[in-house]
Structures are given as C-alpha cells and as structure tokens.
Chain A
C-alpha cells in the first residue's frame, strides 16, 4: 500500500483563495516531499522538508510537518488558475531503503 495518503482527493476553489492539502503517512521518515503534476506530464518537485523541520516556505507555498501525528500539509496562498494540477506527497522513510513512496494525490482545480 502507499505510504502517504492525501486528503482531500479533489479540491475546487476560486482564484485568489487559499488551498490546503494534507498528507498522512505511517512510518518514521527521513524527509517528506511535495510534487506537482500537470495533466499528462512528469512530476515537478516543490518542497522537501526534513524530519527535524517543522515548516518551510517557498514563494506562495507553505509546508508544515508534524512527526508526532505523522502528517504534513501543503498550503498554496492566493491561488491562480495556473496552480490547477495534481499534488502528491512522497515519503523517504527509514524502512524504505531510500526510495520515495507516493500517495494518491490531491487534484486541485482553481477556477478563474
């Protein structure tokens, strides 16, 4: 089974609103990464957050990590139509030998 589980599976918002996606995982991690995928394309890396970090920012993106709850969230502020994509979390866990395991993703639709 997948290590990461994203919630919600689908999210539809208006341009300018904030979008929050959550990821839960099962085992201790080295780091957790968020990726974006436009339809039919490859994945683009957004942010990597290490297990000893609690929050990271990159432009309009904010990622938090709560290792006690084994969860992470991705916040996109002031969303744009161009943010429409699928978003995946991926874990690099201690018992995974260094490979990344992906969740099922959140499909975000930002309406202009």
Chain B
C-alpha cells in the first residue's frame, strides 16, 4: 500500500495523559499536513512541513501540541496533558509541492482521539 498511513486508528486516553500519533506519507511527497476535524465540521489546519522543516503552526494550536518530521519522512503529532476538548479526528495528508503550484493532497484514514 503506497498511500498515507496513520497509526493508531483509534485512541482512548484519560484526561491529562500524553498521546502521540504517527503519519507515514507517500514516499516521494515533500509536503506533510496535520488537520483536526470534529463532527460536522471541515478539517481545521494545525501545521505543515516541507521536508523536515515545519513551515507553519496554526495560532489556534496550544503549546500542548507539538509535531515533528525528522529526516523529512514520517511525522509525529504529540498532545501533552490532553483535555476533553482535544477529542477529534486527527488527519494527516501529504502532497508534492513544486514552485508555486501544489498538487492534490492525499489523506490518511485519520486517528480518532477520545479523551475521557
């Protein structure tokens, strides 16, 4: 399977615990994105990388969220001291960026986080 894969698919955690999600993008893609989606809403941008560089982090993202993409390959998204409001679907996507044009983004199946 050469698509975007995310792990785990589901995560239930207690409030206050830390969680980490992993995303493996399509191998030749240089862009990697993280989005958060709650029920009935569109995906909300969190952060994105070009290769290993984190280019932007949403101002809506608290300091409890951190993302890395070591060596420009897979990425991890960590949420520290989880809160019930963090419950959502976390989506990862990758694309190929060339010049000013961007190709379509391919999404993984998402990680559904439930904070109890």
Contacts and interface: CB of A to CB of B under 8 A. Distances in A.
Interface stretch (A13-21, A64-72, A96-104): A96-104
Contact of A42 (B33, B91, B100): B91
Contact of A98 (B31, B42, B43, B89): B31
Interface residues of A, number: 27
Contact of B56 (A2, A35, A97): A97
Contacts of B41: 104-105
B19 interface: no
B20 interface: no
A38 to B, nearest CB: 11
Given A99-B45, A104-B41, A31 B101 contact: yes
Contacts of B56: 97, 99
A104 to B, nearest CB: 5
Q: Is the interface of A mostly helix, strand, loop or mixed?
A: strand
B43 A50 contact: no
Nearest to B103: A48
Nearest to B91: A42
Nearest to B45: A99
Interface residues of B, number: 29
Contact of A31 (B4, B35, B102): B102
Interface of B: 4, 31, 33, 35, 41-45, 48, 50, 55-56, 89, 91, 93, 97, 100-110, 112
Given A45-B104, A100-B105, 14 more contacts: A30-B101, A31-B101, A42-B108, A43-B43, A43-B91, A43-B107, A44-B107, A45-B107, A50-B101, A90-B105, A92-B102, A99-B33, A102-B35, A104-B41
17 contacts: A4-B42, A30-B101, A33-B104, A35-B107, A42-B110, A43-B43, A43-B93, A45-B104, A88-B42, A88-B43, A94-B100, A99-B33, A99-B56, A100-B45, A100-B93, A102-B35, A104-B41
